[in-house]
Amino acid sequence: MRLARLSAALCTATLLASGCTGGQQPGTSPTGSAPATVQRYVAMGDSYSAGPLIPTTDLAGGCVRSDHDYPSLVAARLHVAHLVDVTCSAATTRELTHAQHPFAGSSIPPQLDAVTPRTDLVTLGIGGNDLSLFESLVRACSPVAAGRAAGAPCRGRLRSGGPDLRARTATIGRRVTGALRAVRHRAPRATVLLVGYLRLVPDRGTCPALALAPADYAVGRRTTVALNRALARAAASTGATFVDMYAASRGHDICSSDPWVNGRTTDRRKALAFHPFAAGMRADADQVLAALAGSASPGSASPGSASPGSASPGSASPGSAFGVPPR
């Protein structure tokens, strides 16, 4: 198992002491006295991985990436020799293989370019920007709610705007599956984790920080759950480990007393609107480290009642867009 060789490093660092037993993982032989080390860690993803406006954020580079995003926290706690953090706000799966242009005259190389055969750890957090999934929720639905429209205006707008939620997330799942296969192709020996999205919407109730019509809160829940389920299936089909941040963030939605995601108002000292706070990034890092320590397994269960082992519907060759033959 690819995760096993990182378990000793985590235990030695006493990151998760309660779950570590002398560097030995259930079902494996002892790893020996010398702790494993991560030489090259490549982090890819969008703004939910980059942490825009969490201090301190690099605005000049175009990716609005924080030096306290979860890849930086994971790298520090694992004592990674070389972190290559190419996470970039507004990235979609397309930017994994194509240059990103955050502003005029700028060009960010394709994120997958950072993955090499010498890479031994990869995290990926992507998909929410594809097909304008989250944008439809927070940019289209919030203004509708501000107009005090009755009923569930967002649900109607999403239905009239193109493919339904199931079709959108199935497409995103296929794209992410292709991305994960491309990572495997470039770095066959790497440990690969797909990090899911934090929850935004409470299980019940409403709040001013989340400007949705009351009847549209269910739409917000379904959107995040459907995306995370699609990501879990993508991880399962490629042998990657899915880090279920939707489950981990229960009780920390935007409306909670301890939110891990900011609401509709940008705080330039803390977080961009509808993006993770520093607490959310710390939670992401904790769950990534827990997965590396062995408490999660490749293709772990997806949010709710999804079946991560089942193939995403649609294309039979999800890796083809990334130049990788399906397997």
pLDDT at 16 over 60: no
3-state SS class at 271: strand
Write out pLDDT tens, residues 302-318: 464 333 333 333 333 44
3-state SS class at 31: coil
pLDDT interval class at 70 (50, 70, 90): very high
Q: Return mean pLDDT, the chain.
A: 81
Cβ atoms of 39 and 81 within 8 Å: the answer is yes
Catalytically annotated residue among 89, 237, 275, 302: 275
pLDDT at 17 over 50: no
302 part of the active site: no
Catalytically annotated residue among 47, 72, 89, 300: 47
pLDDT at 85 over 90: yes
Going from the C-alpha of 225 to that of each of 15, 81, 142, 171, 323, the distances in angstroms are 29, 35, 19, 15, 29
Cβ atoms of 91 and 45 within 8 Å: the answer is yes
Phi and psi at residue 126, to the nearest 5°: -150, 160
Question: Which pTM was predicted?
Answer: 0.81
Distance of alpha carbon 198 from alpha carbon 283, whole angstroms? 9
Of 7-16, 21-30, 108-117, 211-220, the poorest mean pLDDT is in 21-30
pLDDT interval class at 64 (50, 70, 90): very high
pLDDT interval class at 24 (50, 70, 90): very low
Q: Measure the CA angle with vertex 295, ends 192 and 327; round to 5°.
A: 35
Task: Give the pLDDT confidence score for residue 118 in this predicted structure.
Answer: 96
Closest by alpha carbon to 165, among 154, 149, 176? 154
Per CATH, is 4-9+36-72+79-305 categorized as 3.40.50.1110?
Answer: yes
Q: Which position has the higher pLDDT, 254 or 24?
A: 254
Task: Give the pLDDT confidence score for residue 146 in this predicted structure.
Answer: 52
Cβ atoms of 200 and 209 within 8 Å: the answer is no
Alpha-helical (H) ranges within the chain are 4-12, 47-50, 70-78, 133-135, 141-146, 153-160, 165-186, 217-238, 245-248, 278-290
Distance of alpha carbon 20 from alpha carbon 1, whole angstroms? 17
Of 61-65, 160-164, 197-201, the poorest mean pLDDT is in 160-164
101 part of the active site: no
The b/e string for 75-105 (b: 16+ C-beta within 10 A; e otherwise) is bebbebeebbbbbbbbbbbebbbeebebeee
Task: Give the pLDDT confidence score for residue 325 in this predicted structure.
Answer: 44
pLDDT at 162 over 80: no
Cβ atoms of 112 and 44 within 8 Å: the answer is yes
Sign, CA torsion 123/181/97/233: negative
Closest by alpha carbon to 251, among 289, 199, 214? 199
Task: Give the pLDDT confidence score for residue 116 in this predicted structure.
Answer: 98
Which residues, in sequence order, are CB contacts of 137 under 8 Å at separation 6+? Answer: 154, 219, 220, 223
pLDDT at 158 over 90: no
pLDDT interval class at 249 (50, 70, 90): very high
Count CA atoms closer than 13 A to 308's CA, side-chain side: 26
Write out pLDDT tens, residues 32-46: 222 378 999 999 999
pLDDT interval class at 163 (50, 70, 90): low
Task: Give the pLDDT confidence score for residue 105 in this predicted structure.
Answer: 85
Distance of alpha carbon 43 from alpha carbon 121, whole angstroms? 8
Structure tokens at 325: 């033959």
Tell me the mean pLDDT in the region 12-30: 34
Cβ atoms of 36 and 5 within 8 Å: the answer is yes
Task: Give the pLDDT confidence score for residue 213 in this predicted structure.
Answer: 83
Q: What is the full DSSP assignment across 61-120?
A: TSS-EETTSHHHHHHHHHT-SEEEE---TT--GGGGTS-B-SSTT--BPPGGGG--TT--
Matching residue, tokens 């967002």 = 154
Task: Give the pLDDT confidence score for residue 71 in this predicted structure.
Answer: 98
Tell me the mean pLDDT in the region 102-117: 94
Write out pLDDT tens, residues 265-297: 999 999 999 999 999 999 999 999 999 998 444
Write out pLDDT tens, residues 180-193: 999 999 999 999 99
